[in-house]
Structure 1
């Protein structure tokens, strides 16, 4: 069971809902949802809850805005996060009508005894962008977004079956997303990889068509054949990953469990990164000695720790091993004994040896 409590905080013109589960702090988004994102058969875009970093107001990048505008600076930044996560999910359209609409929403957020002008709110947003809280190049193009915002959206949508993403303004790399989602099940990650592969295919196909003019029917047939060949190649690669020169089978026997396909892909990735057989076997030995309830999950965690600590070879394991502590000497040293004590000590040792020899 886990402890759960919810409170509501009233800010000028808006409500923020707070939910704490197992010590993690979440805020429910109160931003507007446009275009019927929650109606009919349209796919869900925004978030209902978004994770708030502990100590957000202590971020050094907020220092300049706080010094210039007081608490209004970090408060406007939090309001912008609420608008982004609740509407587009990972960005705010901040040009033309989108800019005007965003500033009016901020005015609703900050409405109170002292009305903040639109000009002041625009100056706060400019200062936040200048401090690096939003991506500078995309801000010039009319978008408010950052890697922090996009990573929060990526983690919140891992379990969704479909997520509309504009990869022209997407800042996260494949490696950054894989580190947070090693299983590769995220729709955003799979769409990102597919988009990259399709871009390469379209480029190669455009060059081929330029050099070899074909009719539309012939080109369509060629494309279909290419897709079928790609699927066949993918099937062969999956079978190769499953076989993997017997290492997977050996590890399964040592742990007395079966690995799923995603775990086999993870093993292949670690091998391609340079992790040697000895590291896999030693990690499996540690897992078997601890006898966890979920051997595969425990084994995967140990492998991730090895990757994080840079332990990929047998030499790396030897460097990590701590040297055995030196055994303390038994008895006093010869420098600590006087001549009389030295003679007595030698007699005691001879007597001990004589008693130890059987008659």
Structure 2
């Protein structure tokens, strides 16, 4: 297998612990590179493990170098720059793409080669020379200045080219990071929009848009959930089906906008008139349903009477009555003969029909 970065004696700094760690870093980077270019689609888990091992060992190496700089009390200007390069590499390494596609592979390999060259041939060689100078009796400041002068006089064109490449690839990583962050932000915003839209659709599916009350679908679904438990435990449940008498005349004489406003007011009045455990639904048109859990016949009639008492005439802006407040109510109780929730609704509907046929504004029980 061809290695990405070949270890040579020319890479030695003269600091044994640093050189040993450099050799290990080269091996780890070559291992990661082999995972990316071994001729078949790389296993994501293997790439992740290799990447994590490199990141972990790099941080260990950096910590040891920083202890070495502290031990020899290197010039703060070098220490500050050296640490900033450590932090920068860790940040960049966490951003490297590991998808295994050609573009990502090239970006990753260029960065790793550039960094190893920059770190070993440049930064750590400078560190080693300053340590050697201090060991020889020089002070930290003069060692730093001597190193700066040496770099100006002995500028290595190859190293400068490598440093430029490293800078370009690093800047490209930053661009990719900004692009990814922007994409993630847009995905998050789009996901939030979709979540809100789905919640709205779910609400529309079970709620009446005009009144905000649960709709027929919700009423039948809720009764179906209650049904088995109620029959098994001989529980009580009553339903009240009601509508506004002469509502069609409101639409015909005053317009649908007035009719819609009346329905919204009726929805509010119904919610205020029933018990806290009762559920008011709009079935359609001017027809409403009240589901009364744990309610016997007497309790259901009491709820219906309170609804009739709360229904008052409605007036136009100039004070004329456009609806007299009359309502018809059909009451039905769950019985053993009923096989499904629709049977309970049908019984209440028949009772409502009788109430209207008998003159309206009255209660009839199934």
TM-score (norm 1): 0.17
* Structure with more of its chain in helix, by fraction: 2
Higher relative contact order (CA 8 A, sep 6+): 2
Larger Rg: 2
TM-score (norm 2): 0.17
